[in-house]
Chain A
Amino acid sequence: MSLALSVGLLVAAGTFLLLQRGMIRIILGFVLLTHAVNLLIISAGGIARRDAPFIGGDTSMAADPLPQAFVLTAIVIAFAITVVMATLAVVSRGDDDDTESETQTDEDSDSVSKRGESA
């Protein structure tokens, strides 16, 4: 049940962030969703047996290796997609990503200088 709740929590948070405007929130939402899905795939193999699937010792309590292989692949692909999305966040201007509509406090405006204008 803890695992199911974890999946639910990650999905809820991921969905919320994915539905906001602005690429960074969307990326973070995507990252959380991939965590949720990866946990779900692992749990599809069953969570009663929790030993690492190494051959050599007793494998009667070893976890199902196949979902693990799937998830391993999925993590790396998710990383690749995250990186591509991240680059998209910095190539457009005047949108939700590079504007703050919150009024900045004095301290903020003090510490944030102008954007780099170098070539």
Chain B
Amino acid sequence: MTLSTLLFSTLALAGVTMLATRFLGRNAGWLAAVGLGSLAAIVGFRVPEILGDGNLSAIRETTPWMPTLDISLGLRLDGLSALFLIIVLGVGALVMAYSARYMSGRNVHPHTGYFAWMLLFAFAMTGLVLSDDLILLFVFWELTTLCSFFLINRSGDKASAPAVRTLLVTAMGGLSLLLAVVLIVVRTETTVISEALASDVWAEDAGFTAGISVLVAIAAMTKSAQFPFHMWLPDAMVAPTPVSAYLHAAAMVKAGIYLLLLFSPAMAETPFWQILLMSTGLFTAVMGAIFAMRRFDLKEIMAYSTVSQLGLIVALIGVGTPSALATATLYTLGHALFKASLFMVVGIIDRQAGTRDIRILQGLWKQMPVTFVTTLLAGLSMAGVFPFLGFISKEYLLGKILSTGDAAWVGAILVAIAVFASATTFAYTARILFGAFSNYRGSNREVEQDHDHSMNETVVEAKPSFYLSALIPALLGLILGPAIAVLHPLTGAAGSAAAASAYEASFKLFGGFTVELMLSLSIYALGILAVTQRRSLDTFFERRYLGFQAIDVVEAIRLGLIKVGTRFGDTTRTDRPLGHLAAPWVIVAVLTVVSLVTVSNLGNLVSTEQPWTDLIWLGLLAVTVIPAVFTKFRLVALILVGAAGFIVALWFFSLGAVDVGMTQLLVELLTVVALVLILRRLPKLFHTVSKTRQLLTGLIAISVGAVATLATFAFTGRREFSDVGQYFLDEAYIDTGGNNVVNTILVDYRALDTFGELTVIAVAGIVVIGILRSRKVLGEITPDISKWSNTALGRTVDNTLPVRMVAKWAAPLIILLSFHLFFRGHYEAGGGFIAALVGATGFGLAYLGATSDSKAPVRWPYRGLLASGVIVAVLSGVWGFAVGSFLKPVRFDIPLPWGGEYGFTSAMVFDLGVYLAVLAIIIAVLNELGGVRETEKEPRSFAGPVLVAKEFSAELESQSSKISASVGTKELHGSDDEPGLNVTSEGGNR
């Protein structure tokens, strides 16, 4: 199995498990467990392959990813990544099996999202530890952060704030890592991790090394919850217990440890790095242990315990010798085992007893003996008791810390701190055991206890399928102590990789009567003393000393930042257009003045002759635009602006822009239609504008217009034909097989651009639908035509007859024309835009002929059409991707039955996407603004204008008889069957 197969197997497993949850519910966890377990086993079997070359050989794989940037999908399996991979996959398998019983069995929610995020996280961690590329490393690092955020966030309303805080802290670390990565890539000129770390830069430039070491340490400390970034971890405990067991104990918080070990070859010799890690680590170890003594929630105790234990590991990495690094990997493994087990136990207690508050829990050891034994085994390993794995790792840890520094007193002081932290660990392990399982209660816990919830009255032991996943790692901690030699190849290889020098592990369970053993014994002595004195100690620790917690500080910073951002944004936040337009105007004014003063030689106009028709267009524009500005009537203004749009289209035609002209013409038409639909909800007249405002804005407008004229005159038409334009004219046919150069630019050369535009259209359509459905829309103001009810004006059916007769014949023709324009688009004027717009005018015609809003004929599912437009375009892009690059056109000739052949290109499929989206937004606008909405209940008919025309003729026949019978009667206009103009539409829901 190649490394990339391994990596993507985890991703595939996520997909398979997601599907499986549909059928198996929570039991899909078993499937995921088997999957992750097998992958862990595969990694285990490959360990011998990397033991060669003094434990330093590695399996490498490189797949090109972004070749132009020299970034590759570089994967590497060495000792370090193998050890972490086994933790990630192995603990992952246990947690997945645990989830299959922990998650609720009622299959109301099949937990699809939960399993998806958990396995996506497994994928991210696998990728992180396998990455041999700095960019890749960063991507996976961030992915773990995101998975953590979503896993916390999805566990209820209360989880949102902790999720955001967690994200803020860890994402800040991510930024720090990004900065480090960029600096390293720039300096070492490679993105390959092993090459970058082997660079001479580290030894030569102490300043650079120190700077990077701080950035890397910050990233690692945020992830591994080291002081002062520790507070997110207890905060994150709102997540379900399996999430905490996996992410916040065994795997994700170890990503920081992994990062430190990964960078050790370059940093370990740096005194700055050593001091930073040792001081932070030891301080965090003591702080976490003390906080664990102060908490009542078992999960919170576990969280602070994790903070504390990780502190010890960080300090150990600071020691930096190969044996210290190997011990760190052993400690990481041991911690993963006992902490995962302890977290799972907490979940079991929570499920069986209904609470995890040690002030409430009592005497569980009788009811839940297996759970008690599991906790005991894992706890003893955590406390470092002989002969557990935790004992060996702790003893070596103390030994390595003792040997730090040149002077003996440095090591002595440091080890004293570590001993204190370890003794406290012993004490809080007892706190967990006594608190949860015995009848012991602290002196004043009764008083403080939360009386709102209590323990379940009958507590029974969990089923084996539930507790087994917690028991296995706890037993492993016991077995691996005496059988420590089994781990020597793995930890040796990991230590070698972290130190970048050959190292053979030789951990011993009993190494004689050494200083380390004495230290261990003193830890036991102190610990046992603490246990005997627990009543007074608990009273001492559990008292509140400070009025606030670290998390309050984070929250204050977060709220403060938001407040600062709001203040900052307020400076430009205004509803007045003038407030926003002031800046560009000032810039334009300054540019104008500067240009007038400095620009002297503009170059000559290429051609001074201009067709006499240009003057006509100018004149026509003037007579439409100027009255449009001054009219008081909304409708008049709209018609004049629409007319101006037609004249602009004429301008385009006269400038040789045929496609543009056609598009302009059609868009103008539809804009007017859409705005008329708006106008019928608004008063006839514009509101009055004060003379002062008119004068002021008039002055601004005239000066801006003058500047625009000058600029257009000065800066255009003074150079020869552009090279790029010439290129298109020369090469477009050869490159694309299309004759219509503008269309080839749109769908072949700049297809991605057009794709963006297509997306804008689809989004605009969704926005329109969203706005109109979420807000109350103004009602229609309809003219009262009752006094004409007896005349033809009042009878809509008669009124619309001519239009319907025209539509009957024109609609099919318009459809045909639309198809014709679409298919010839690549070769002559036409294309997706124009074809869709033409098709849409067919719909416009159909609406015009409708007798009422509710009878408006088109019921196409325009939301689906909007989406399908984008989807079709994406598919055509993917088709291109398969043969080269996204949206690359695929061309072949299709022989036509009547001889000759049609030059097909996948660009036409893309154009079809454009067609669909443009058509859909127009139908959406007509329906939404016209007061007829697409609803789920309405039967969806795919009847296009062709069928519409048929419906019309049928309707016409039935109604004409009715009308003839009822001419001259008033009922016609009042009846629901025949809603005339005076009946308000459904859209007006005011």
Binding site for B on A (CB under 8 A): 1-13, 15-22, 24-28, 31-32, 35-36, 38-40, 42-56, 59, 62-66, 68-69, 71-73, 75-84, 86-93, 96-102, 104, 108, 110-113, 115-119
- B632 contacts the other chain (CB 8 A): yes
B760 in contact with A77 (CB, 8 Å): yes
B733 in contact with A32 (CB, 8 Å): no
Supposing A44-B716, A48-B717 touch, asked if A6 and B651 sit within 8 A by C-beta, the answer is: yes
B interface SS class: helix
Cβ contacts under 8 Å, B670 to chain A: 79
9 examples of A-B residue contacts, CB within 8 angstroms: A6-B621, A8-B710, A11-B705, A19-B577, A56-B739, A82-B674, A86-B675, A102-B688, A113-B784
* Nearest 3 interchain pairs by C-beta: A12-B705, A8-B709, A116-B984
Docked Cα-Cα span, A80 to B682, in Å, equals 21
A65 in contact with B648 (CB, 8 Å): no
Docked Cα-Cα span, A55 to B727, in Å, equals 12
A2 in contact with B617 (CB, 8 Å): yes
Docked Cα-Cα span, A35 to B760, in Å, equals 19
A81: min CB distance to chain B, Å: 7
A84 in contact with B764 (CB, 8 Å): yes
B475-533 residues with Cβ-Cβ distance < 8 A to A are: none
B697 in contact with A16 (CB, 8 Å): yes
* Candidates A53, A78, A83, A113; contact of B729 at CB < 8 Å: A53
Supposing A47-B717, A115-B988 touch, asked if A1 and B610 sit within 8 A by C-beta, the answer is: yes
Supposing A87-B929, A111-B784 touch, asked if A49 and B682 sit within 8 A by C-beta, the answer is: no
* Candidates B700, B783, B984; contact of A19 at CB < 8 Å: B700
B687 in contact with A80 (CB, 8 Å): no
A100: min CB distance to chain B, Å: 4
Docked Cα-Cα span, A5 to B157, in Å, equals 60
B648 in contact with A84 (CB, 8 Å): no
* Candidates A10, A65, A71, A112; contact of B684 at CB < 8 Å: A112
B655 in contact with A54 (CB, 8 Å): no
A97 in contact with B659 (CB, 8 Å): no
Binding site for A on B (CB under 8 A): 577-578, 581, 606-607, 610-611, 614-615, 617-618, 621-622, 625-626, 628-629, 632, 634, 637-638, 641, 644-645, 648, 651-652, 654-660, 663-664, 667, 670-671, 674-675, 678-679, 681-689, 693, 697-698, 700-702, 704-706, 708-710, 712-713, 715-717, 719-722, 724-725, 728-729, 732-733, 738-742, 745-746, 750, 753-754, 757, 760-761, 764-765, 767-768, 771-772, 775-784, 828-829, 833, 918, 921, 925, 928-929, 982, 984-986, 988-990
Docked Cα-Cα span, A65 to B742, in Å, equals 5
Docked Cα-Cα span, A12 to B625, in Å, equals 10
* Candidates A11, A13, A92; contact of B629 at CB < 8 Å: A13
Cβ contacts under 8 Å, B784 to chain A: 110-113
Docked Cα-Cα span, A15 to B724, in Å, equals 33
Cβ contacts under 8 Å, A47 to chain B: 607, 610, 655, 716-717
* Candidates B663, B741, B990; contact of A116 at CB < 8 Å: B990
B437: min CB distance to chain A, Å: 62
Cβ contacts under 8 Å, B610 to chain A: 1-2, 47
Cβ contacts under 8 Å, B783 to chain A: 111-113
Docked Cα-Cα span, A80 to B768, in Å, equals 9
Cβ contacts under 8 Å, B767 to chain A: 84, 87
A16: min CB distance to chain B, Å: 4
Docked Cα-Cα span, A52 to B656, in Å, equals 4
Docked Cα-Cα span, A44 to B226, in Å, equals 59
Docked Cα-Cα span, A111 to B708, in Å, equals 42
* Candidates B678, B712, B925; contact of A7 at CB < 8 Å: B712
Docked Cα-Cα span, A43 to B745, in Å, equals 18
Docked Cα-Cα span, A96 to B98, in Å, equals 62
B656 in contact with A86 (CB, 8 Å): no
A31 in contact with B722 (CB, 8 Å): no
Cβ contacts under 8 Å, B701 to chain A: 12-13, 15-16, 19
A81 in contact with B764 (CB, 8 Å): yes
Cβ contacts under 8 Å, A26 to chain B: 577
Docked Cα-Cα span, A77 to B610, in Å, equals 31
Cβ contacts under 8 Å, A66 to chain B: 722, 724-725, 728, 745
* Candidates A6, A24, A82, A108; contact of B618 at CB < 8 Å: A6
* Candidates A91, A93, A102; contact of B687 at CB < 8 Å: A102
B768 in contact with A24 (CB, 8 Å): no
A86 in contact with B728 (CB, 8 Å): no
Supposing A90-B777, A116-B779 touch, asked if A52 and B667 sit within 8 A by C-beta, the answer is: no
Docked Cα-Cα span, A5 to B654, in Å, equals 16
Cβ contacts under 8 Å, A46 to chain B: 606, 716-717, 719-722
Cβ contacts under 8 Å, B729 to chain A: 53, 55, 59, 62, 65
Residue with the highest number of chain B CB atoms closer than 10 Å, among A40, A51, A77, A115? A115
Docked Cα-Cα span, A98 to B686, in Å, equals 9
B654 in contact with A50 (CB, 8 Å): yes
Residue with the highest number of chain A CB atoms closer than 10 Å, among B658, B742, B784, B982? B742
Cβ contacts under 8 Å, B641 to chain A: 28, 31-32
A75 in contact with B660 (CB, 8 Å): yes
B38: min CB distance to chain A, Å: 51
Docked Cα-Cα span, A108 to B615, in Å, equals 39
Cβ contacts under 8 Å, B728 to chain A: 53, 65-66
Docked Cα-Cα span, A27 to B781, in Å, equals 20
Nearest chain A residue, comparing its CB with the CB of B718: A46
Cβ contacts under 8 Å, B686 to chain A: 20, 22, 24-25, 100
* Candidates A40, A63, A72; contact of B656 at CB < 8 Å: A63
Supposing A62-B656, A116-B990 touch, asked if A3 and B651 sit within 8 A by C-beta, the answer is: yes
* Candidates A13, A63, A78; contact of B657 at CB < 8 Å: A63
Nearest chain A residue, comparing its CB with the CB of B928: A87
Docked Cα-Cα span, A32 to B764, in Å, equals 20
Cβ contacts under 8 Å, B738 to chain A: 55
Supposing A47-B655, A65-B725, A87-B772 touch, asked if A77 and B761 sit within 8 A by C-beta, the answer is: yes
Nearest chain A residue, comparing its CB with the CB of B683: A100
* Candidates A9, A28, A55, A119; contact of B705 at CB < 8 Å: A9
B655 in contact with A42 (CB, 8 Å): yes
Cβ contacts under 8 Å, B776 to chain A: 91, 93
A79: min CB distance to chain B, Å: 5
B682 in contact with A28 (CB, 8 Å): no
B925 in contact with A83 (CB, 8 Å): yes
* Candidates B621, B678, B918; contact of A89 at CB < 8 Å: B678
B830: min CB distance to chain A, Å: 11
Cβ contacts under 8 Å, B715 to chain A: 44
A68 in contact with B660 (CB, 8 Å): yes
Supposing A9-B622, A35-B645, A80-B760 touch, asked if A71 and B657 sit within 8 A by C-beta, the answer is: yes
* Candidates B578, B682, B724, B833; contact of A24 at CB < 8 Å: B682
Supposing A21-B687, A55-B732, A84-B764 touch, asked if A39 and B651 sit within 8 A by C-beta, the answer is: yes
Nearest chain A residue, comparing its CB with the CB of B736: A55
Cβ contacts under 8 Å, B700 to chain A: 15-16, 19
Residue with the highest number of chain B CB atoms closer than 10 Å, among A38, A44, A80? A80
Cβ contacts under 8 Å, B607 to chain A: 47-48
Docked Cα-Cα span, A71 to B745, in Å, equals 12
B683 in contact with A86 (CB, 8 Å): no
Supposing A3-B712, A46-B716 touch, asked if A10 and B625 sit within 8 A by C-beta, the answer is: yes
Supposing A39-B651, A81-B764 touch, asked if A100 and B618 sit within 8 A by C-beta, the answer is: no
B16: min CB distance to chain A, Å: 40
Cβ contacts under 8 Å, B688 to chain A: 101-102
A99 in contact with B708 (CB, 8 Å): no
Cβ contacts under 8 Å, A112 to chain B: 683-684, 781, 783-784
Nearest chain B residue, comparing its CB with the CB of A44: B716
A84: min CB distance to chain B, Å: 5
Docked Cα-Cα span, A115 to B778, in Å, equals 8
A83 in contact with B921 (CB, 8 Å): yes
B724 in contact with A63 (CB, 8 Å): no
